[in-house]
Each structure stands twice: as structure tokens, then as C-alpha cells.
């Protein structure tokens, strides 16, 4: 997956240049760098530039409009709104792609934003695809093997990792059983079972992309992605699933910037307040519980400081975390990058003349 341009980088470079001018001939003073302010500046201009990018890409592909999977989450809501503002509601088509473990609110909120924008949309449940491949049955077998008390009639499930800020680098996944909204037990997953579960869950995202391309090719539209920069950097998308799109207008915007864009675009407050999630477990599981393992405003500041090589003391002041925890977090992020490099990479090609 490739990013065209870098609004975040340009913003930081201009700010650091300004700091350099203030202290010409002296050591640069980063003391007034506020990361969240940097991320939230010039949001109106950012929205304008993203709309221009969308138009350039769609016209460059010689397509008539945009197909977009609408999940009821903030990323797809922002992308949908920007596409409608640039191309008009008549040239944007929304797809609601629920399956039986999706939260009911996903479909409801997705339909609401399509209707509020006047976008034509269609609901295409993907459960029949998932069932035909035996995904639900295979997943249930692993959960039953791991959790002896599991009863699918009374329990909901989620896959969770320990809170990084409180438990450090420990990276042991576990299945959580929920009854009547309350967690009643947790069971540690074996490595092989964890890998198989991830593979099974990823089929859902790949199935959704099959449907999106079926509609896009019928309409002569592009498929618009909704991956943000936080997800991109961490490899938090499914290769040839939600990562298999024609363009990624939000992939240089940290999740924090997506929230700022949503407020600027006046996205439904219920969508803005909804915890971000892949929404592939019967119990709605937020990305903070599973993938990020910390609050998003902390993760984004750590990623930003690391990307722009800000001094440790600046990261400490901005996040409120002690230096040793920040350094452990940066090592943790580096490991995630290393292990997900294959997700971000295009297939290597062997060239005959080399």
C-alpha cells in the first residue's frame, strides 16, 4: 500500500523549521511542540486536499464514481462524506456488508449516514460466503477447545491482548467469554490456535472486498479504501481484504486526525463516539482492547514522535508517560512494523534482466 504525499510530515517540517529560525545557531528547542495540536491543525485544508486527491485518482483511473464499504465506523463515514462532497451523491455508492457476528449498530449507523448524505446504498450480507467456507464452525471448534464452558447460545466472545501500559511487552492473546454484557472468564490461546483464528477472521474482510469489486466493476467505479495512517503504520489491515482497494485517501492521516475531520465534516456524533473496531467478534471489541493495547491518543503521539524523531522528553511531556515506558512502547511498535512488513508490501517480482 502506497501513500501519495504526506500532510503530517509537511506540517511538522514547517513547524520545526520555524523553531530552527527562532534559535538559529543554537540547539533546537522543541519545548513548545504539542503533538495533538500538530495533528489537529489546518483540518479544513486537509479535507480540501483529500478531496482533490480523490478526484485526481478517480479521473486518472477513468472511472465514473466511487464504491465504498460503509461500516458504521468513523473512517468510512469520513471517506464517504469527502467522496460525496467531491463527486456528488449520485456518483457514490455505499455497501453495507454485515455478517451474523457484526454489531447491529454497524448496519444502523451505516444506513443512517448514507441516508443523511443522500447516497444510494445496498445491504449485502456476507454470512452466506462465510458459512459456505465453514468459517463459523471452525472458529467455534477452536473456542470450544480453548474455553470448556463456552456455550454459543449464552456466551459472546472476543479476542483481547493485555493492556500494554500496565503489562508491558507481554503479548499473550486470550479469549474472553461474555454473558449478559459481563466478562465471566478469560482463557489463554495457544499460538497455533491464535494464528488460525486470525486467518478465519480475515476471510470476512476479504469477502467484503469481493462484493465491493463486483459492484465497482459493474458501475465502472473505483473502490475507495478507509485505512488510516495509524492502521497503515502498524499493519492493521487485511492484505487483499480492506487493504485491497484502488485508492486510500485517509492513509496519511493518523486516527486522531480522522476524529478531527469527522467533527469538521459534522459526522453523526454517535459514529464519532463509537469505539473503533474491526467488528468481527460476537462481542464488540475495540481496537484499543486488541490491536493498539493503549488509548489511541497515546498511540498516535508515540507514532508521531517516533516518525519525526522528537526527543524523548517531548514524548514524555506530551503523553504523560515515563521515559522507560515510552522506550518500551517504541520497541513494541518497531516489532509490530517488522512482523507486518509483508502486509504493507506489494508482491515481489522477479525481473529477468537482473
* Superfamily of the domain at 32-340: HUPs (3.40.50.620)
pLDDT in tens, 53-98: 999 999 999 999 999 999 999 999 999 999 999 999 999 999 999 9
pLDDT at 289: 74
Positions of the chain with pLDDT lower than 50, given as ranges: 2-26
pLDDT at 167: 62
Quick check: 93 and 45 in contact, CB under 8 A?
no
Q: CA nearest 313: which of 303, 323, 324?
A: 323
pLDDT at 13: 44
pLDDT at 16: 40
pLDDT in tens, 126-172: 999 999 999 999 999 999 999 999 999 999 998 888 777 766 555 78
pLDDT at 286: 73
pLDDT at 97: 97
pLDDT at 22: 39
pLDDT at 11: 39
Amino acid at each position: 500500500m502506497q501513500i501519495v504525499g504526506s500532510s503530517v510530515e509537511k506540517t511538522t517540517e514547517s513547524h520545526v523549521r520555524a523553531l530552527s529560525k527562532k534559535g538559529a545557531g543554537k540547539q533546537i528547542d522543541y519545548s513548545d511542540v504539542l503533538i495533538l495540536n500538530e495533528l489537529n491543525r489546518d483540518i479544513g485544508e486537509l479535507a480540501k486536499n483529500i478531496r482533490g486527491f480523490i478526484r485526481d485518482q478517480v479521473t486518472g483511473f477513468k472511472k465514473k464514481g466511487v464504491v465504498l464499504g460503509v461500516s458504521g465506523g468513523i473512517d468510512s463515514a469520513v471517506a464517504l462524506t469527502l467522496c460525496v462532497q467531491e463527486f456528488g451523491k449520485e456518483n457514490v455508492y455505499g455497501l453495507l456488508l454485515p455478517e451474523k457476528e457484526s454489531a447491529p449498530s454497524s448496519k444502523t449507523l451505516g444506513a443512517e449516514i448514507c441516508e443523511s448524505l443522500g447516497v444510494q446504498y445496498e445491504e449485502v450480507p456476507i454470512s452466506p460466503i462465510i458459512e459456505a467456507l465453514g468459517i463459523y464452525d471452525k472458529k467455534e471448534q477452536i473456542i470450544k477447545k480453548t474455553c470448556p464452558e463456552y456455550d454459543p447460545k449464552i456466551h459472546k466472545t472476543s479476542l483481547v491482548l493485555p493492556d500494554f501500559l500496565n503489562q508491558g511487552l507481554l503479548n499473550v492473546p486470550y479469549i474472553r467469554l461474555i454473558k449478559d454484557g459481563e466478562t465471566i472468564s478469560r482463557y489463554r490461546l495457544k499460538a497455533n490456535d491464535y494464528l488460525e483464528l486470525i486467518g478465519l477472521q480475515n476471510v470476512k474482510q476479504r469477502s467484503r472486498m469481493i462484493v465491493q469489486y463486483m459492484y465497482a466493476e459493474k458501475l465502472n467505479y473505483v473502490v475507495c479504501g478507509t485505512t488510516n495512517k495509524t492502521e497503515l503504520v502498524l499493519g492493521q489491515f487485511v492484505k487483499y481484504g480492506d487493504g485491497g482497494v484502488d485508492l486510500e485517501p485517509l492513509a496519511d492521516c493518523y486516527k486522531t486526525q480522522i476524529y478531527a475531520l469527522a467533527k469538521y465534516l459534522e459526522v453523526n456524533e454517535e459514529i464519532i463516539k463509537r469505539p473503533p473496531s474491526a467488528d468481527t467478534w460476537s462481542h464488540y471489541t475495540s481496537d484499543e482492547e486488541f490491536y493498539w493495547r493503549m488509548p489511541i491518543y497515546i498511540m498516535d503521539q508515540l507514532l508521531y514522535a517516533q516518525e519525526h524523531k522528537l526527543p524523548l522528553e517531548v514524548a514524555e511531556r506530551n503523553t504523560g508517560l515515563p521515559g522507560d515506558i515510552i522506550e518500551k512502547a517504541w520497541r513494541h511498535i518497531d516489532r509490530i512494523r517488522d512482523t507486518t512488513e509483508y502486509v504493507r508490501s506489494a508482491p515481489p517480482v522477479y525481473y529477468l534482466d537482473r
